[in-house]
């Protein structure tokens, strides 16, 4: 029947396909039976016939023809495996010793004795060579350290010189003066102590027509005139300004004498205060502007008597260098004290007209 023929055909074709599957177990079985299995490399199976891929039709009356199986390729001869080379034995001192005993037929005692009698090269302890340093390396190390120290010292001195050259110069603050001065002197104290310091500065020599500034402590707002503690009217003291004022020593006229340049905030108030102060002004300023000693006249009896005053003492109005001034003159007409305004903001107190003129000339020069 068609069904049987199809089944037998499938069985035959399956048996033919199993011949192409090669396994190690099949090869060993063939080899044990005395045969030679095929040793050719396994190739890809040949494609099955197209008839086997087509399912049988239930309508067909006759079975489809079965394709003849392909002939099995001839097996290749089996090459017997080569025996593996035995590993080379490890050569040891014990093996060499036994071989030597067999070759020479010597005993162990004779070989040890011969080994002891053999000459040996003198050995040098390794620790001795390592402990002795090379002298050349030592000198190189010392020279390098010396150069490093010298370089560091040179860098230090160069940096110190650089700092000294480029150091910031701090200029001490100087008091501003309304006129040009030729020298400066620092005074301190208050009241009588300050007045004595001014008198001491008057005794220090000056070149003719020169001015020495008497500077006071710049940490305070007081001026030399204000620190004297004079009993001047309040209207005068309240209108004096420290800025623009100064005290000093001038060398002009009859000698060296102190002077004051005072900046004022009110001309009328300070002028009125100065007029009110004239009654005690000369006595308060007597240490700075003292009276001259009275002159003496010789007589026939070899005695001296004071010369009688010829003029009235006290302040009077005068004109000096085209400026109205008030001058205090003694009985002989000598100037003891003079004051006057350079302008409505500055007035000057000096010893005589020569000193007053020198101060006004410097004021004019400074403000021109």
Sign of torsion over alpha carbons 92, 96, 101, 106: negative
The pLDDT of 326-330, averaged and rounded, is: 94
- Which of 208, 209, 187, 211 has the alpha carbon at shortest distance from 199? 187
Q: Residue 240 CB: number of other CB atoms within 10 A?
A: 21
| pLDDT mean over 50-75 | 54
Q: Would you list the DSSP string of 197-215?
A: HHHHHHTS---TT-EEEEE
Output 180 or 254, whichever has higher pLDDT: 180
Give the separation between CA 320 and CA 330, rounded to whole angstroms: 18
pLDDT digits (tens, 9 = 90+) for 10-40: 444 444 444 556 677 777 788 778 777 665 5
pLDDT for the residue numbered 5: 41
Contact status, residue 298 vs residue 304, Cβ threshold 8 Å: yes
**Tokens standing for residue 365:** 């020069």
pTM: 0.52
Q: What percent of the chain has pLDDT over 70?
A: 62
pLDDT bracket for residue 179 (50, 70, 90): very high
Rounded to an integer, the average pLDDT of 132-150 is 83
- Please say if the pLDDT value at position 7 is more than 50: no
Per residue in 207-259, pLDDT (tens digit) is 999 999 998 876 666 789 999 999 999 999 999 998 889 999 999 977 899 99
Please report the pLDDT score of residue 63 as a whole number.
Answer: 56
């Amino acid at each position: 029947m068609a069904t049987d023929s199809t089944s037998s055909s499938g069985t035959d074709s399956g048996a033919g396909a199993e011949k192409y599957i090669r396994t190690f177990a099949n090869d060993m079985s063939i080899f044990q039976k005395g045969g030679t299995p095929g040793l050719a490399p396994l190739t890809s199976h040949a494609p099955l016939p197209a008839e086997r891929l087509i399912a049988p039709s239930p309508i067909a009356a006759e079975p489809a023809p079965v394709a003849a199986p392909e002939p099995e390729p001839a097996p290749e001869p089996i090459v017997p495996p080569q025996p593996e080379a035995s590993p080379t034995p490890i050569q040891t001192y014990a093996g060499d010793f036994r071989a030597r005993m067999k070759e020479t037929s010597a005993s162990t005692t004779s070989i040890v004795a011969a080994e002891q009698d053999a000459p040996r090269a003198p050995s040098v302890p390794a620790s001795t060579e390592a402990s002795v340093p090379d002298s050349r390396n030592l000198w190189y190390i010392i020279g390098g350290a010396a150069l490093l120290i010298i370089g560091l010292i040179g860098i230090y001195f160069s940096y110190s010189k650089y700092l000294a050259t480029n150091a910031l110069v701090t200029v001490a603050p100087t008091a501003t003066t309304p006129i040009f001065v030729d020298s400066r002197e620092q005074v301190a104290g208050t009241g009588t102590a300050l007045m004595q310091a001014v008198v001491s500065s008057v005794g220090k020599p000056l070149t003719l027509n020169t001015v020495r500034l008497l500077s006071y402590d710049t940490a305070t707002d007081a001026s030399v005139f204000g620190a004297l503690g004079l009993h001047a009217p309040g209207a005068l003291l309240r209108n004096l300004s420290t800025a623009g004022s100064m005290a000093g020593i001038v060398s002009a006229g009859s000698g060296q004498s102190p002077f004051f340049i005072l900046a004022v905030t009110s001309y009328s108030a300070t002028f009125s205060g100065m007029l009110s102060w004239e009654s005690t002004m000369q006595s308060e300023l007597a240490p700075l502007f003292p009276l001259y000693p009275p002159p003496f006249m010789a007589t026939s009896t070899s005695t001296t008597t004071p010369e009688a005053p010829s003029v009235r003492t006290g302040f009077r109005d005068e004109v000096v260098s085209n400026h109205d001034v008030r001058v205090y003159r003694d009985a002989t007409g000598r100037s003891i004290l003079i004051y006057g305004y350079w302008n409505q903001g500055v007035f000057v107190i000096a010893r005589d007209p020569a000193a007053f003129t020198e101060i006004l000339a410097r004021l004019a020069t400074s403000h021109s």
